[in-house]
Amino acid sequence: MWFLFIVGLLCGYFMIAWTPTVEPFVLEVFLTDIIFDPMKTFFALVSFFIGFISNAILIRAATWHTLQAWRKETTNRKEQFLSYSVLLTFFILAIIDVKKTIIFFLFSFAYGMMSMSVYKEREN
């Protein structure tokens, strides 16, 4: 779980750092920045993909542990604590760039919730 926390945080940071910031947002300028720096764009996309998968696993685990605690079932406290560390990840990334962090969080949350049934079946 610590590994997922560190990977999610680092990949989120690199995704934010490597995607172009265009204020105010103009699509043409954004696309031009992406096209004329393909390596940076590629690494930003890879970081986004790896980071949102890592955070989705933590979100899924946090949700699962919360449901177990709600039903008063026994849980692994260390794993539960580490899975809640995903909130710290998004807080730190939001300090850097709120808009990109919201997009990163939405992808992570959606994927984490979609894979919840698979996780629940595996745990039982």
| Domain edges within the chain | 1-6+18-123
Task: Please report, for residues 64, 100, 111, 118, the alpha-carbon distance to residue 21 in angstroms, rounded to integers and kept in the order given.
Answer: 36, 10, 25, 37
Residue 29's contacts (CB-CB under 8 Å, 6 or more residues apart) are 22
Write down the mean pLDDT value for the chain: 88
Q: What pLDDT score was predicted for residue 118? A: 64
Closest listed residue to residue 79, CA positions, set 60, 65, 89: 65
Crossing angle of helices 38-70 and 98-114, in 10° steps, is 50
Task: Please report, for residues 28, 35, 38, 42, 109, the alpha-carbon distance to residue 4 in angstroms, rounded to integers and kept in the order given.
Answer: 35, 31, 27, 21, 15
Q: What pLDDT score was predicted for residue 123? A: 60
Q: What pLDDT score was predicted for residue 43? A: 95
pTM of the model: 0.83
Q: What pLDDT score was predicted for residue 55? A: 94
Q: What pLDDT score was predicted for residue 26? A: 84
